[in-house]
Structures are given as C-alpha cells and as structure tokens.
C-alpha cells in the first residue's frame, strides 16, 4: 500500500483533479477501500467472472 500512498500524495501535489486506473491484478479490497477513504476516483478492470460471462452469453 506504500506505493499507492506515494502515488496519491504525488498526484495531489501535481494536479487538482486526477483519476487512477487499476489493472485486474491490483483490484484488492484493501486498495479499493484506501482509494475510497482518500476520495480518489478510480477505474479498474475486474477479473473474469463466470456468472457475468454466463449472463452475457444468454
């Protein structure tokens, strides 16, 4: 989490508004909770979900 903390602190010094994009491998509950607490907007791709894939196919 230290890396993400440093990224957020650096971004706050450089910009008024910023977003973070996360790859599916980094979409952990702890990371999402941290970003939510820090009020950072984020977008991330979820790992494949068999239930959603089945819904799309039907």
DSSP the chain: -HHHHHHHHHHHHH-SS-EEEE-GGG--HHHHHHHHHTT-EEEEPPPP-HHHHHHHH-
pLDDT at residue 50 in the model: 86
- The answer to pTM > 0.85 is no
pLDDT at residue 1 in the model: 81
Is residue 20 within 8 Å of residue 41, measured between CB atoms?
yes
Question: What are 11-50's pLDDT values in tens digits?
Answer: 999 999 999 999 888 788 899 999 999 999 999 888 888 8
pLDDT at residue 45 in the model: 84
Is residue 34 within 8 Å of residue 1, measured between CB atoms?
yes
């Amino acid at each position: 989490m230290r890396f993400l903390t440093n990224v957020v602190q650096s971004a706050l010094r450089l910009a008024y508004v910023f977003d973070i994009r996360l790859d599916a491998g980094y979409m952990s509950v702890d990371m999402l909770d941290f970003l939510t607490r820090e009020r950072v907007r984020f977008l991330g791709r979820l790992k494949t979900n068999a239930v959603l894939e089945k819904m799309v196919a039907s």
